[in-house]
Amino acid sequence: MEFTAEQIAEILQGEIVGDKTITVKGLAKIEEGHPQALSFLSNPKYEEYIYTTQSSICIVNNTFEASKELPSTLTLIKVSDAYACFAKLLEVYNNLGKKNPEIEPNSFIHPSAEVCEGLYLGSFSYISKNALIGKNVTIYPNVFVGEGVKIGDNSTLHPNVIVYQDCQIGSNCIIHGGTVIGSDGFGFAPNEQGEFQKVPQIGNVIIEDNVEIGSNCSIDRATMGSTIIRRGVKIDNLCQIAHNVEVGQNSAMAAQVGIAGSAKIGRSVMIGGQAGISGHLHIADGTKIVAQSGIPSSVKKSETLMGSPGIPLDDFKKSYFGFRKLPYILNKLAELEKELETLRKK
């Protein structure tokens, strides 16, 4: 779909510098610009590319002043925050590709399921009995929705998502391909013979509104009660959230984070990639956990933690400085021992 500079400026409430009739058909990084592409510049370290880009339109901050001649084919749109405005345009662009309501062939809806208006249901998707699907939901092909599942308005389930029975997904949620919601928690107890006996997992998963979950994540159902992902949480790809975990509102975690059973993550917590959090502990609101850190015990106040076990960031930096000097210290210690031995012999 084509947009003119004038239309884009109207959406962003921006000022046009150049040809207001010029059109764009797609988006591109400023360093990879091409004719009829829209780019943006917010980071000064990329400014050099604006003088050579082939993009037709570039969104820039109001404060931008060219230090040399710009390409004659380039039109600028000046806004208060180029990054935020470009993100807004990406959202508009993304919504253009949203599926129109349709029930594709070879999909299945159980007669007892309740489906509201505006549903797109892709081929080979399955909606089980007593499920409740809200308004304007998009369910791509090969999705399984279990018995009694509830999905709120305007949510999207991408291909190959599996939602087990009785789980709940709020409104305006996005769940990416391959993610499993509500699989059994890892619950086993050894019997008298030392063999592991499965503990039935009879709870569910509750995902509140405005949550986005990346691809190939697993969120386990509770043993009893609910595993809860609170409103506004953002989860990257390949994350594992165990049974009875609660993730607080507006928290975020990067790829390959693992959270063990019954851990309680506070509000606005940020967790870096490959971090591991032990079970049955509490993480205070606002805590930041650096990538690859391990958290074995509760965090009682908001701080930034690094290392395994995680310690305050400044302490970790001091410790790491000492660790890097350890070979030098050991060599010095060996020299001192030799000198001491020589003195003893004398």
What global pTM score does this model have? Answer: 0.84
> What pLDDT, on a 0 to 100 scale, did the predictor assign at position 98?
79
Please report, to the nearest 10 degrees, the dihedral formed by the alpha carbons of residues 141, 146, 150, 153 taken in order. 0
CATH number attached to the domain at 3-96? 3.40.1390.10
The structure tokens 């003119």 sit at 4
Which whole-number Å values give the CA distances from 207 to 150, 173, 218, 227, in the listed order?
A: 10, 8, 13, 8
Positive or negative torsion for Cα 267, 273, 275, 276: positive
> What pLDDT, on a 0 to 100 scale, did the predictor assign at position 179?
98
Domain range summary for the chain, segments of one domain joined by +: 3-96, 102-315, 317-345
Q: Is there a cis peptide before residue 312, judged by omega within 30 degrees of 0?
A: no
Is 243 part of the annotated catalytic residue set?
A: yes
Active-site residue, selected from the candidate residues 158, 176, 243, 282: 243
- Beta strands 23-24 and 3-4 are antiparallel
DSSP bridge partners of 213: 175, 235
> What pLDDT, on a 0 to 100 scale, did the predictor assign at position 345?
83
CATH number attached to the domain at 102-315? 2.160.10.10
CB 249 within 8 A of CB 232: yes
> What pLDDT, on a 0 to 100 scale, did the predictor assign at position 218?
98
Specify burial of residue 341 (Cβ count, 10 A radius: 0-12, 13-18, 19+). exposed
Chunked in runs of 10, what are the mean pLDDT values of the chain (346 residues)? 91 95 93 95 94 96 94 96 90 80 97 97 98 97 98 98 98 98 95 93 98 98 97 98 98 98 98 97 98 96 94 87 86 89 84
CB 227 within 8 A of CB 211: no
> Rounded to whole angstroms, how far apart are CA atoms 151 and 66?
50
Q: Which phi and psi angles does 224 have, rounded to 5°?
A: -140, 150
Of 87, 166, 102, 92, the closest CA to residue 136 belongs to 102
Give long-range contacts, CB 8 A cutoff, 24+ apart: 267-275.
267/230, 273/236
CB 161 within 8 A of CB 141: no
